[in-house]
Amino acid sequence: MKHRTVIAAVTAVLLSAAPASAQGIGAVLGAMAQGGGWIQIPIERGNGSLLSAALPSVGLEIAGCMQIWAGHSGSWTVSVEDTYGNGDLNAEAEPGDDIPFSYSPGAWAQLKVDVAWSEPRDTTLLVWVGVEGSASRDPCDPVYGTGGR
């Protein structure tokens, strides 16, 4: 797997649990304080994409980990690009694989996420995006449900 720099502050929480929608700055900061959150990406015929809202990133340095929900099957190709040109991530992963990342964004960030699945079917891809920092937990350890694993 090849891991490159990615805009983590935004990746972790800009994309809400609702497919193809984005969160405001209050929700972003709340999710970061909790150590991360889940992203849902609608997949049609094996492919899906999302575009986050453009948000100020105030130059935060963020590190963390993404993980495709272990209940999925097949393999996944994930491409994340900061449309403001400051970073990207390209990875191939199996469900449950850790995908570490780090990023020092510019003043603004907007993410374009493209996903391809090895199976040409429809589903909703669940991706954990954990952030190192204020939460005293491993960012690669997903949180399931409210307050539990």
* 135 confidence band (pLDDT: 50, 70, 90): low
* 119 confidence band (pLDDT: 50, 70, 90): very high
Q: Is residue 30 part of a domain?
A: yes
pTM > 0.85: yes or no: no
pLDDT of residue 109: 83
Q: Is residue 140 part of a domain?
A: no
Rounded to whole angstroms, the Cα distance separating 33 from 100 reads 18
Rounded to whole angstroms, the Cα distance separating 56 from 19 reads 22
Average pLDDT over residues 39-63: 87
- In the block, tokens 């990406």 appear at 41
Average pLDDT over residues 98-120: 89
Q: Are 143 and 67 in contact (CB under 8 A)?
A: no
Q: Are 126 and 38 in contact (CB under 8 A)?
A: yes
Q: Is residue 3 part of a domain?
A: no
Supply the mean pLDDT for the chain.
78
**Where in the sequence is the domain holding 127, given as residue range(s)?**
8-131
Q: Is residue 136 part of a domain?
A: no
Give the SS3 label for residue 12: helix
Per-residue b or e along 22-51, where b marks 16 or more CB atoms closer than 10 Å to that residue's CB: bbeeeebeebbebbbbbbbbebeebebebe
Q: What is the CATH number of the domain that holds 92?
A: 2.60.120
Rounded to whole angstroms, the Cα distance separating 130 from 67 reads 8
Domains of the chain: total:
1
pLDDT of residue 98: 95
Q: Is residue 78 part of a domain?
A: yes
Q: Is residue 143 part of a domain?
A: no
Please tell me which residue, 77 or 1, carries the higher pLDDT value.
77
pLDDT by residue (tens digit) across 64-106?
A: 999 999 999 999 999 988 898 778 889 999 999 999 988 777 8
